[in-house]
Amino acid sequence: MVIQTFFTSDTHGCISAAIWGVFAATLSYLILHRPKVELFDEGIRITNPFDQITVGWQRVESIDAKYTMSIQVADKVIYAWAAPAPGRYHSRTIHPSEIKGMDIGIDGLIRPGDSPRTHSGAAAYLAIMRLKSFRDSGSSNGCDSSVITNKNGLLILIISCVLAIVFNIYHF
């Protein structure tokens, strides 16, 4: 659409289309490509569109996969955009062989988000295994906690949105 506008429109239309293209590309990068979950021996790093949160295993109280994978740190819950839970009907497709050896519990029931075939279930299972390994080692030296805000992505998104709106309102 942006390329077509360059060939069929005037200068104002070209600039407006380019700015909308930058906005759409930045938004899709931030939402679809940037989120990730990184596990390492000393802690976990959750990268969401605007924040990168690093937490040492010594501070993690619990790991859950109800709506998305989340970790409980003190009184704060941190959600991972990269590990969403499936729809409510996913639990109907879980076969008992998929959860064999996963240490599910006495009742053997799991929620759809805990399924190993889902992003949230796989990430939560691996994180729980790393947390258990950290606690079993007896170490209390995890990594330092930090929160880094993605100022560049936020700035590009805001500026491109404002410029696109201004160029659509004012024609010169």
| Alpha carbon distance 101, 80 (integer Å) | 25
pLDDT of 92 reads 53
pLDDT of 153 reads 94
pLDDT of 125 reads 83
pLDDT of 34 reads 93
Give 23: exposed, middle or buried? Use CB within 10 Å, 0-12, 13-18, 19+: buried
Give residues with Cβ within 8 angstroms of 42, minimum separation 6: 56, 57, 134, 141, 142, 143
List average pLDDT for each run of 10 residues in the chain, which is 172 residues long: 71 85 94 93 93 93 85 92 68 56 55 62 84 86 89 95 91 75
DSSP-assigned letter for residue 160: H
pLDDT of 24 reads 94
> Under DSSP, is residue 10 helix (H, G, I), strand (E, B) or coil?
coil
